[in-house]
Amino acid sequence: MENIGNILGNKTALTDAKLKGLKAPERGQIEVSDPAVPGLRVRIGATGLKTFIVRKRVGGRVKNMTIGQYGARFGLADARKKARSIISDIETGGDPSSKLRMPSKRTSALTIRSMVPDYLAAKADRRSVGEMKRVLENYVIPVLGDRMAEAVTRGDITALVDSVAATAPVMARNVHAQLSAFYSWALPRLDRLPTNPCRDAGRPKAPKARDRVLDDRELATLWKLLDAEPLPWGPALKLLILTGQRRAEVFSADRSEFDLKRGEWWIPAERAKNGERHFVPLSREALAVLKKIDEVPDSPKLFPAKGQPQNGPSGFSKVQARLRATMLEKLGVVRDWTLHDIRRTAATGLQRLGVRLEVTEAVLNHVSGTRSGIVGVYQRYGFAAEKRAALEVWGAEVTKLVTEHPTKGAARVSRRKKSAGADTD
């Protein structure tokens, strides 16, 4: 700790390091002035509490004005900025009292949960507002939603991002980005928040771009394993394979989005990653999967979560690990793969079958590549007929691959059945 006498006799400006090192007096209180901003002082009490004050003559009388308590959220730079503003008001004849008022109850009581609706409304014209809503509702609000927005620290955000990164590094970066955007919007609306807490919070490094595609044997083996998987995993993952849509778009789908008679699936804009309503034609194979899924009473979801019928399921990592282990057992060698690699596999399969690139991108609902920039603005053709033809061809291709690539397990079953038949003859 630095001796208080040395500070009092020192005419150099204060620093945060010096303030942190100030030793509290045994009794009473001591004030240390800041030569950099005449009138700004730090008052140190016997408890060690450090408080910034401005001492200035106002209307012929010397006034002491408390401007804030020193700490991680209000440092020396913040105090100097506020002090200069107050002193400027006094010297120009203004009223500094407005800068000394405590934040209103309305401002100080704002939680992240209460602010998100206004934030999303302000961003309603953004193409990505659906993704913003999805990330905030699924990852941020369950953990930080009931915290006062101005009380959340970079440590809180780092802990949240780290917990997501443990199973989904790419999503963790997305969570960080969405929270940072939220706080950039919230900052002017929160009187006591000095900076965006996401600025110095930790986040995972950007992962290398994946290029993993399941080969024909792997895809056929996975499909056969899904035959034995219960709801929601078997049918949902088959729909991932057959439609090439995103995991969240499949697993969180409402039944009302599907018209089985017309063979159509319309993903609403608020659930689509790019914020645009998306048409997915349903192939014969996809319709066969959907028709076997029983409706769950009192749930709008195609795949309702157990105990929470209004939501889609979770637990993807455990199911994925189980499927990978079983595929390894049957095939001998299987490289690591993720659920998103299924979407890439479908896209690659479409290209291999001769589907035009712009049609493949339309199936995937991509707005990059051939649908980006000025082309995306003026080229509004939806490729509905071409998408239907492409997914019909892909569905038939998946069926053919399953037939052409028997797995070890299936072969053993066939031999057992044959042996049993010989015994009974």
The domain ranges of the chain are: 4-101, 107-189, 216-419
pLDDT tens by residue, 175-184? 999 999 999 9
Q: What HEC string does the chain produce?
A: CECHHHHHCCCCCCCHHHHHHECCCCCCEEEEECCCCCCEEEEEECCCCEEEEEEEEECCEEEEEEEEECECCECHHHHHHHHHHHHHHHHCCCCHHHHCCCCCHHHHCCEHHHHHHHHHHHCCCCCCHHHHHHHHHHHHHHHHCCCEHHHCCHHHHHHHHHHHHCCCHHHHHHHHHHHHHHHHHHHHHCCCCCCCCCCCCCCCCCCCCCCCCCCHHHHHHHHHHHHCCCCCHHHHHHHHHHHCCCHHHHHCCEHHHEECCCCEEEECCCCCCCCCCEEEECCHHHHHHHHCCCCCCCCCECCCECCECCCCCCCHHHHHHHHHHHHHHHHCCCCCCCHHHHHHHHHHHHHHCCCCHHHHHHHHCCCCHHHCHHHHHHCCCCCHHHHHHHHHHHHHHHHHHHHHCCCHHHHHHHHHHHHHHHHHC
The token pair at 49 is: 């509490």
Q: 3.40.50.620, 3.60.15.10, 3.30.160.390, 3.20.20.70: which CATH number matches 4-101?
A: 3.30.160.390
Q: Where is mean pLDDT largest: 81-85, 266-270, 349-353, 416-420?
A: 349-353
For the residues 356-384, what does the mean pLDDT come to?
A: 68
**CATH class belonging to 216-419:** mainly alpha
The pLDDT value given to residue 106: 46
Q: Which residue pairs from 97-102 have beta carbons closer than 8 angstroms and sit at least 24 positions apart in sequence?
A: 99/67, 100/65, 100/66, 100/67
For the residues 344-359, what does the mean pLDDT come to?
A: 93
Q: Is 80 exceeded by the pLDDT of residue 15?
A: yes
Mean pLDDT of the chain: 82
Lookup result for tokens 């707005």: 367
pLDDT tens by residue, 119-140? 999 988 776 788 888 899 989 9
pLDDT tens by residue, 318-344? 888 889 899 988 888 888 888 889 999
pLDDT tens by residue, 283-317? 999 999 999 999 888 899 999 988 888 888 888 88
Q: Is 80 exceeded by the pLDDT of residue 262?
A: yes
For the residues 197-217, what does the mean pLDDT come to?
A: 82
For the residues 415-421, what does the mean pLDDT come to?
A: 35
Angle at 374 (CA atoms; ends 370, 378), nearest 5 degrees: 90
The pLDDT value given to residue 97: 58
The pLDDT value given to residue 280: 96
Q: Which of 89-103, 207-221, 375-389, 408-422 has the lowest mean pLDDT?
A: 408-422
Q: Is 50 exceeded by the pLDDT of residue 377?
A: no
pLDDT tens by residue, 270-282? 888 777 889 999 9
The pLDDT confidence band at residue 346, using thresholds 50, 70 and 90, is very high
| Fold held by 107-189 | DNA polymerase; domain 1 (1.10.150)
Q: Which of 78-87, 205-214, 244-253 has the lowest mean pLDDT?
A: 205-214
